[in-house]
Copies of this chain bind each other. A is one copy, B any other.
Amino acid sequence: MIYNSSMNDRPDISHSARASALAAELRSVAGKLKRRLQEQSSVGDLTSSQIAVLLRLEKEGPATASNLARAEGMRPQSMGSVIAPLEAAGLLSGTADPNDGRQTLLSLTEACRKLIQEGRAARQDWLSRSIAEKFSARDQERLASAIELLKRLVED
């Protein structure tokens, strides 16, 4: 705390009151977003977490299940059940790391990479589509900095 509270018991009442109001709104919109993503995932066949994984692998290259779990802030066991259907669908393939037998390095299959590059995946994706449709280039910039803000919030 930067504020000196020795001369005043409530130096930041409005600061925390504002925080509380913002929290309420953020909680509400986060809930809606969550439900929206979920309801859309039943339309296609990929869940939100699965799309997040695919796009991360596409952007940052092969990774292990544990790596992905850490990146997404979830447990390795949970990531396992996110990944399993993707492997079954032939979108992901795992090869054992020759240097470390414990690890299985996951990478996108050629079929999946093609799907993403053709933009088909994005067009099927409700969130990508909504952002493209509803947000101008200027708004997309604003969204980008908003996301940085949210990242700070969910960090430790």
Contact = CB atoms under 8 A, between A and B. Distances in A.
Contacts of A147: 22, 25-26, 29
A119 B10 CA distance: 11
A127 B123 CA distance: 33
Q: Chain A interface mostly helix, strand, loop or mixed? A: helix
A77 interface: no
Bin the interface of chain A by size: 35 or more
A73 B34 CA distance: 10
A134 B151 CA distance: 11
A34 B34 contact: yes
A-B residue pairs, 10 tightest by C-beta:
A146-B146, A19-B132, A24-B55, A19-B131, A23-B128, A20-B122, A32-B73, A23-B127, A32-B154, A20-B128
